[in-house]
Structure 1
């Protein structure tokens, strides 16, 4: 390669990695927005006079909408420049969070949450296949890990940070902060991401067709459903679990979730470094690890010290979920990345909604710690599914 070619390629890489980071920031902002109520259920419920189970609808509603909007946005906006589409979706999310911050009643807050679901479903489905367009082929695995690190980081850093803001300045300040984060992500997308013209059209018939004929995609969707439903049945109510089962003071919850977050970031990059060569083994280890840690939490997490240690272990294991599942889907359908991503995003967000719904019913009808057994059971079935699947990924 001539020196001039090396310099041109270096300048190209200098331009593309900031674009990857801008997309990751957008996903981080969106997923933080979706999951923000996890750490704020108790103060929101107390302020707006609803139960913890009812407050959990703040996750159920956008999750259901995101599940539907992932394929709908992918198909209906197939001809739109990807940068323009991503910017419009992140702007919608920012506006919805500012409405939530000013909501005088729970009904108003809940009515604003579907817009967040539309943003999440559409943005994530499109972003899932962008790494191959932003960086050279040899850097795609790393770029994918960074982009979808935004999902893991939202679960394990965005929510704790939002919880701390809520504890210090009230839950309305937390929603306003996420709205401002969305505006910052919007600016980054417009400045750093190059034009990304549409690469063709996609029909609704292609999505079930891909699911029907591709065994790897079916397995990926099933494992996504099991892992995410189980996880969010428990994680949505982690604050009540820590308070009621382990006796953790409310003032300490934000700090514990930050520790969970730090462990989750480590888990994301550990998994990201292994999925290229050991995808099945990595995903199997995550499934069995989640089953084990939630069961141990239910049995041993009855004191602040043990509950704190198990929460950190939970974050470490869960941190690798998104990058592992997304990589599974892309490897299962390398020639249909946007279609596979839309199915994955639909399954992921539907599972968040169902998990919050199942967890809410368990908390209100049975016992708070019952959600941990629900999570462990789902993760165990997911492990069995991965272990017995025949698709060579």
Structure 2
């Protein structure tokens, strides 16, 4: 890494926290954008005349691109004011979603999703370590948790809310709403965030060094790939899975909102546990997710049963982001920026891979195959957890 000496003015505590909230809204908008198609595959596929498996590429494409752009954007913009970088990335996301809302061909939607992926990977990587530049040192941990709360809240609440909006007014207004939210985030970043000149520049050479020299980081990346791939293998296609069980279209959004509320509870439960029981919490997440997916596959669900399963599933997944991020920080306290860049890449690769494998399973075997394969991958995380030494 190289160091620059560009001076910067420390913002007042109040303005610093306002800047933290602006960045949090930005990352919430980005992650909601990346995962929004999960609840809207069927209407998008029907309107643009593609299969549900093909429509799953709307999740696969930005996931793959985000995995590449996370380290690439961080390195390429290493000497640029972080405020400017965040503003450009969030603006790109907003415009891409507005383009999707007016698209008449699926190819246009996929092109827009490519730019969403660029925004997600770059923004998340930079935002993860930005709290240190915005608030006093004693508040850094709390501010970082707030920023990463945007990732968690998007995963467990933003997507269900977007699905609910899509059920009410169609998929195009849902995409347009996320685009507008991105532009609102842009204004917040420009108005509330101070200049943040680069201090340390991450080089590509730092990434393999962290991977090769830290068994804890390697274990965390493997866990992320297994659990997140398993989750999205099934969750990307939750709409056709529930429809196959006879759940009415107008109830899908309600069930995903139930998932989201349970996910927020799972986040707080995990936050109370991981300080002392990090490894058992990771193992518990794998077991809960696998159980939820197996029950979805084998149970003939009515609305009440489906709601109960969404609560179980949401509790498990809501605990994932804060727990796995803590694993990475715990494993690499002195190289957090490089380790987090690898983690962001792995997380987004897993999203893309899960959507891709789920699409192949749904189109080739049937909707039930997706949760079965997802549960199998989640359970494969258990040997990794048991083999990893330390807390």
TM-score range for the pair, normalised by the shorter chain length? over 0.9
Aligned position for 1:207: 207
1:6-44 deviation digits (Å, cap 9, x = unpaired): xxxxx9433332222222111110011011111110001
Change in Cα spacing, 1:89 to 1:301, as seen in structure 2 (3 Å) is farther
Q: Which of 49-58 and 311-320 deviates more? A: 311-320
Aligned position for 2:259: 260
Q: CA deviation at 1:85?
A: 1.0
Aligned position for 1:329: 328
Aligned position for 1:149: 149
Change in Cα spacing, 1:136 to 1:388, as seen in structure 2 (3 Å) is farther
Question: Within 1, Cα distance between the matches of 2:308 and 2:251?
Answer: 14
Aligned position for 1:4: none
1:227-260 deviation digits (Å, cap 9, x = unpaired): 110000000000001110x211001111111111
Q: Which of 308-317 and 63-72 deviates more? A: 308-317
Question: Within 1, Cα distance between the matches of 2:193 and 2:216?
Answer: 31
Aligned position for 1:342: 341
Task: Determine if contact 1:126/1:341 at 8 Å carries over to the other structure.
Answer: no
Question: Within 2, Cα distance between the matches of 1:194 and 1:284?
Answer: 41
Change in Cα spacing, 1:167 to 1:272, as seen in structure 2 (3 Å) is same
What 5-or-longer segments of structure 1 have no aligned partner? Answer: 1-10
1:84-114 deviation digits (Å, cap 9, x = unpaired): 1111110110011111011111111111111
Change in Cα spacing, 1:203 to 1:100, as seen in structure 2 (3 Å) is same
Is 1:238 matched with 2:238? yes
Q: Which of 18-27 and 355-364 deviates more? A: 18-27
Q: CA-atom RMSD, angstroms?
A: 1.5
- The alignment partner of 2:285 has SS state of helix
Aligned position for 2:163: 163
What 5-or-longer segments of structure 2 have no aligned partner? Answer: 1-10
1:176-231 deviation digits (Å, cap 9, x = unpaired): 00000001111111222222221122211111111111111111111110111000
Question: Within 2, Cα distance between the matches of 1:325 and 1:135?
Answer: 24
1:56-84 deviation digits (Å, cap 9, x = unpaired): 00011111100000010111111112121
Is 1:285 matched with 2:284? yes
Aligned position for 2:46: 46
Q: Residues 1-393 of structure 1 correspond to what in structure 2 (within 5 A)?
A: 12-244=12-244, 246-390=245-389, 392-393=390-391
Question: Within 2, Cα distance between the matches of 1:209 and 1:16?
Answer: 33
- The alignment partner of 1:276 has SS state of coil
Task: Determine if contact 2:255/2:306 at 8 Å carries over to the other structure.
Answer: no
Question: Within 2, Cα distance between the matches of 1:315 and 1:156?
Answer: 7
Aligned residue pairs: how many? 381
Task: Determine if contact 1:301/1:310 at 8 Å carries over to the other structure.
Answer: no
Question: Within 2, Cα distance between the matches of 1:117 and 1:31?
Answer: 10
Q: CA deviation at 1:277?
A: 3.4
Q: CA deviation at 1:276?
A: 3.1
Question: Within 1, Cα distance between the matches of 2:206 and 2:126?
Answer: 16
Change in Cα spacing, 1:232 to 1:23, as seen in structure 2 (3 Å) is same
1:124-153 deviation digits (Å, cap 9, x = unpaired): 111112233333444344323221121121
Task: Determine if contact 1:237/1:359 at 8 Å carries over to the other structure.
Answer: yes
Aligned position for 1:3: none
Q: Which of 301-310 and 226-235 deviates more? A: 301-310
Change in Cα spacing, 1:275 to 1:134, as seen in structure 2 (3 Å) is farther
Q: CA deviation at 1:301?
A: 4.6
Q: Normalising to structure 2: TM-score of the pair?
A: 0.94
Question: Within 1, Cα distance between the matches of 2:373 and 2:20?
Answer: 36
Aligned position for 2:7: none
Question: Within 1, Cα distance between the matches of 2:137 and 2:377?
Answer: 35
Q: Normalising to structure 1: TM-score of the pair?
A: 0.93
Change in Cα spacing, 1:275 to 1:23, as seen in structure 2 (3 Å) is farther
